[in-house]
A and B are shown apart, each in its own frame.
Chain A
Amino acid sequence: GESVGLHLPTLSVQEGDNSIINCAYSNSASDYFIWYKQESGKGPQFIIDIRSNMDKRQGQRVTVLLNKTVKHLSLQIAATQPGDSAVYFCAENIRGAQKLVFGQGTRLTINP
């Protein structure tokens, strides 16, 4: 069935560098895309979302880019900090259903 997936399972970056986490999706009937952060032993925590009629949205140190042509979503984290170490999931909201479909996740590790 249709699903959201991620290109890389792990990503290691140096503290202070920028991180880019990618996601590919296949469901055209999605109206929102969301990035979640999940730390060990905790539930997913909302980071940022983007509506399907937008191509870029910025938050505090984070930017989400949406390319509907190639069905690609990315999360950019500026000046990564040790507290950014976690697993990051992209998810898509199925239009009209309030139903999220999650990808597999990328583990981000920050090296000192």
Chain B
Amino acid sequence: EAGVAQSPRYKIIEKRQSVAFWCNPISGHATLYWYQQILGQGPKLLIQFQNNGVVDDSQLPKDRFSAERLKGVDSTLKIQPAKLEDSAVYLCASSQMDRGYYNEQFFGPGTRLTVL
């Protein structure tokens, strides 16, 4: 089966500019996650969707980050305006929905963002 798709793979912008990332999860996966992975660190969850509803966005910097998952399939993550500290790899993951139980998360290749 096809894996999680992300685009673009790389993006370089200047601070205060805006940027958007796209994710297409594995077909049939109801749960979608966006993670931020700063160099040398483990991924940190930014937002979790179940179908098109937000389950957890407690670590999303809402003054500059936004995400949506229209129609419960593809998702976009936007940063506006970007700061230097936003330089990181943005990973998208998806999993099947089984309420209350652990389901394996499958990760996409990520988008490497560099803010100059």
Q: A residues bordering B, Cβ < 8 Å?
A: 4, 9, 31-32, 34, 41-46, 49, 89, 91, 93, 96-105
Contacts and interface: CB of A to CB of B under 8 A. Distances in A.
B88 to A, nearest CB: 13
B63 to A, nearest CB: 21
A98 B100 CA distance: 7
Contacts of B48: 98-99
* CB-CB nearest 9 A-B residue pairs: A102-B42, A43-B107, A32-B102, A93-B102, A44-B107, A89-B42, A102-B43, A96-B100, A43-B109
A99 B47 CA distance: 10
A40 to B, nearest CB: 11
Contacts, number: 55
A98 B101 contact: yes
B14 to A, nearest CB: 24
Contact of B107 (A4, A32, A45, A98): A45
Mostly, the B contact residues are loop
Contact of A43 (B45, B55, B108): B108
A102 to B, nearest CB: 3
Nearest to B48: A99
A98 B103 contact: yes
Contacts of A105: 40-42
Nearest to B9: A41
Given A43-B4, A43-B110, A105-B40, A97 B56 contact: yes
B105 interface: yes
Nearest to B42: A102
A43 B91 contact: yes
